[in-house]
Amino acid sequence: MRGTLLTSTDRSWVFDGRFGGVAAGRAVEGALWLVVFASLVLDVYTTWLGLAVGLSEGNPVMQWAIDGRGLAALGAAKVLAVGLALGLRAVRPRYGATIALGLALPWTVTVLVNTVALATV
């Protein structure tokens, strides 16, 4: 018995607890991970450009690391963050899109801030 929409026992229209199905959820998550990797590369690149024209790193911890180890420290920190996020995603796959968004959003904002700073030099 299918029942009404509100009491239906047939949940074939919902997959994995999300509207739109598993395939749509995977597509969104995949797109977010692409944004993560693109923003990682663009963040390192725009930081490098900014440092080359005389701007300074805004994060004091990264400033210290860059002063000691160069721009490779920034890249290593980004790779470590992605590695930890992928590890968390392996443990909690249901939250994969949220985890990716947690990296993509601040890094994309950082790229935009870096781009504006470079445009004003």
Question: What does DSSP assign to residue 37?
Answer: H
pLDDT at 56: 92
Which residues fall within 8 angstroms of residue 112, CB to CB, at 6 or more apart? none
Q: Extract the tokens encoding 72.
A: 């490779």
In Å, how far are 7, 9, 46, 87, 95 from 41, measured between CA atoms? Answer: 48, 47, 9, 20, 24
Predicted confidence (pLDDT) per residue in 59-98, tens digit = 999 999 999 999 999 999 999 999 999 999 999 999 999 9
Predicted confidence (pLDDT) per residue in 7-63, tens digit = 545 444 444 555 555 556 788 899 999 999 999 999 999 999 999 999 999 999 999
pLDDT at 106: 96
Reported pTM: 0.75
